[in-house]
Chains A and B, each alone.
Chain A
Amino acid sequence: MSRHNLAYFAREGLGNLFSHGFMSFAAIGITVACLLVMGTFSLVAYNAEIQLERLESDYEILAFVDETYDASQVQAVGKELVKLPNVKSCQFISREEATKSFEEKHEGDYMLQDLDVSIFRDRFAVYVNDLNQVRKTASTIHTVEGVVKVRVDEDIASGFIMLRNVAGVVCIALIAILLVVSIFIISNTIRLTTFDRRDEIAIMKMVGATDGFIRWPFVYEGFMLGLLSAVIAFGLQWLLYESVAKSIDVSDTLQILDVVPFGSIWKPVAAFFGGVGLLVGVGGSLTAIRKFLHV
């Protein structure tokens, strides 16, 4: 294809875009909205995943050791623990260390005699690979000879797992639905142009233009619609993300969440928006023009 033709297609395509100002505007608006919803859910899912990974590395199961065990027996328990499935590592905490850190935390406002006897036990902090299996791992730990008590904080783990799984599923479903919606709306916009230009299409066919040649300006129009939508959606997503991140940062209850900074993920986000935008634009135009050819 000559450079001359490329310029021609670009000019025709852009002309089409502007000749249906309102419809193009509406198509871009809806595509932007679709992209934003897809992007937002993907980003939430991604952040939940990151949060979960952090949680996995921080999350500990406490395995309390029989207080009658001596140092070498305790060490043997530790060796048993690391052999268990899903256990990444375990760290020994002596009863002295535990008491000290407890005292520091609750300085002055406790009565030693009310405390559970467990704080006087040696313990292991067990770190896991997969937070999903915490409950199972905890019960396996309990079967280890010498472990008298296991403490897990299941609520935090299950909350995040749920968020991640839900966001993941919703994400995939939404992306599928919204892809179809955007292709449909862009396809209809371009169908309007093909209708508007049916006389030109007829003349092109009459003088012997190939289907490919007839198709190109419309593909270009779809391409531009998709690209514009992607650029606008990316900008809006950025603003939205930053403002949500900021409000999480200053909020009292949500501060514990660590939002991934946009600066470190903008490239894949841009690639995603660009890819979806072009897929939708070009896909939409091809479905629109398909019926017009082969007549």
Chain B
Amino acid sequence: MIRLTNVQKQYENGTHALRGISLSIEDGEFVFLVGPSGSGKSTIIKLLTGEIVPTEGRIMVNGFSMTKISNRQIPLLRRSVGVIFQDFRLIERKTVYENLSFAMRAVGASGKAIKTRIPYVLDLVGLAEKADRYPSELSGGEQQRVAIARALINNPSTIIADEPTGNLDPTRSLEIMLLLDRINQLGTTVVVVTHEQALVNKFGKRVISLEQGSITGDGIGYDNGVKANEQT
């Protein structure tokens, strides 16, 4: 479960990225986080993964209090949250398989666990045939699938994706969203940051709208979000 209470974030240079945000996402939910560029979407993601700390307010993520969390607990939090970025962030000199085994080994998984888990996840993202390819030998959509597989590999309870389709054409984007939806149906909480309205509207999910560091809408469908936005 994710809960933000009156969260403010001011960066060192003085930018107010978030101006008092409260929201809550239950386990098993699928949520879109939308808003124009610079509205504070990535700031929320960074707060959720412990990369930055809030200036004000409280944040709970999967039972960890992000304002009280110790350095030793950060790795445990991160194992419960899989993250996906627009730019994939794969290791170019490692194959698909090695990228995944690297992520498993980093949390101390055994060789046996690695051997059984990777084929399962590769199959889930539809890349069973491409295990031995290098990222440069894959299309953008396929690379993002590898990133999704890596986010899933340590079986987190939550997946957070920051503009996962930003570098992809509409068809690939839809495929990625469908994949994330499928992962959600398998029980994982999914938070997707995007600003692709058409895509969001195909799904009829909960949409949280953000503008200039404040929440301007929270409801089913992008239009709801925008409407709420217009009312304020």
Contacts and interface: CB of A to CB of B under 8 A. Distances in A.
A208 B89 contact: no
B202 to A, nearest CB: 29
Nearest to B80: A208
Contacts, number: 57
Given A199-B91, A207-B79, A213 B106 contact: yes
Contact of A203 (B51, B74, B102, B110): B102
Interface residues on A, range: 20 to 34
B83 A206 contact: yes
A210 interface: yes
B108 interface: yes
Interface string A156-191: 000000000000000000000000000000000000
B107 interface: yes
Contacts of B91: 199-200, 203
Contacts of A214: 106
Contact of B78 (A200, A206, A294, A295): A206
B114 to A, nearest CB: 10
A194 to B, nearest CB: 15
A208 B111 contact: no
B161 to A, nearest CB: 13
B150 interface: yes
A249 interface: no
A207 B110 contact: no
Contact of B108 (A200, A203, A213): A213
Contact of B111 (A4, A199, A202, A205): A4
A202 B88 CA distance: 13
Interface in A69-86: none
B79 A203 contact: no
A211 B102 contact: no
A207 B72 CA distance: 14
A207 B111 contact: no
A207 B89 contact: no
B75 A209 contact: yes
A2 B150 contact: no
A195 interface: no
A200 B77 CA distance: 19
Contact of A204 (B82, B106, B110, B153): B106
Contacts of B75: 205, 208-211
27 contacts: A2-B108, A2-B110, A5-B105, A199-B91, A203-B91, A203-B150, A206-B49, A206-B78, A206-B83, A206-B89, A207-B78, A207-B79, A207-B82, A207-B103, A207-B153, A207-B154, A208-B74, A208-B75, A208-B76, A208-B77, A208-B80, A208-B106, A208-B107, A213-B106, A213-B108, A214-B106, A294-B71
